[in-house]
Structures are given as structure tokens and as C-alpha cells.
Amino acid sequence: MTSTPTPKSPRASRISIAQLMQPEHANTYGNVHGGWIMKLVDEAGALACMRHAQKRVVTVAVDSMVFREPIKIGDLIILNAEVTYTGRSSIEAEVQVVAENPITGERTHTNTAYLVYVALDDDGHATPIPALVVETEEEKQRMEQAKKRQAYRISQR
């Protein structure tokens, strides 16, 4: 018999990744490829969800990703991710992307993405995950927004 996982707060899943953007990440104009940023966003989101579920996860959906500002060679890209919603086995993560000039310290928010993952058991089947317990007013608002996104995703199937 499987026990019910202990609920967790968004804080328990929070993760930050930072990586210096090199020439191999960019086009001839010095702008980092969107696909490279998307790869890092997916990794950050997955790590936050794995921390929450304490299981491996697979990506099942990526909401639209709008690149508001370019990220350049030499920028430090910082990805901050945390869980914003949980279902029975599905988990939504919010990933904020910031580009920082490591010399001046100037930071630019380049995009935010919402991704959905499913937690898997050892046999590769969807498995129950801990519920998300929100503690602050901001977390409550983010969870309500996440519930609306999830309802929309389901309506589009």
C-alpha cells in the first residue's frame, strides 16, 4: 500500500541555476539561441519538480515562452524555479529567467515560463506526489493562477 506523501511548500522546491553564456550558445550576432534558453528552463523546472516529488519527472507541457529581451554572450543567465501547482501526479513549475551583466551587475528579466511535468515511479508510470501547501498571500495568488492555467490546458485536450 502506498502512503500519502507529506505536503510541501513552494519554498521546498525552489532552485536557482546560473550559467555563463559562451559563444557556442549564441548566433553570429551574439544573441543566445532561444532553444538553449528553453533547454535550461526545462532543466530548472524539472529540478524544482523533482525536489518536490522526490521522484523523476517528465515534461508534458510548456506554456508559451516569450523572449522579452535578448541574452548576450558574456551574460550570466540565472533561472529561478519553483512549484506553483500540484495535481495527483502532475506538477507545474514557474521558471523566471534573468540575464545579468557580471561586470556591472545590471539584471534584466528576459522571460517567465510555466511548464508541467508528471512524476514517475520506478516502472515509468505516473505516481502520486505531495500536495502543495501555500503559506503566503503571494503563493496563494500564484496557485490560483496556476489552477486556471491547468484548467485551460485540460480544456484544450
- 2 is a domain residue: no
- 55 is a domain residue: yes
Dist CA 1 CA 136 (whole Å): 34
**Number of domains the chain contains:** 1
- 105 is a domain residue: yes
pLDDT one digit per residue (tens) for the chain, 157 residues: 456 778 998 999 999 999 999 999 999 999 999 999 999 999 999 999 999 999 999 999 998 788 999 999 999 999 999 999 999 999 999 999 999 999 999 999 999 999 999 999 999 999 999 999 999 999 999 999 999 999 998 898 8
Q: Is 9 in a helix, a strand, or coil?
A: coil
**CATH classification of the domain holding 42:** 3.10.129.10
Q: Can you give the residue range of the structural domain that contains 57? A: 10-155
- 124 is a domain residue: yes
- 87 is a domain residue: yes
- 4 is a domain residue: no
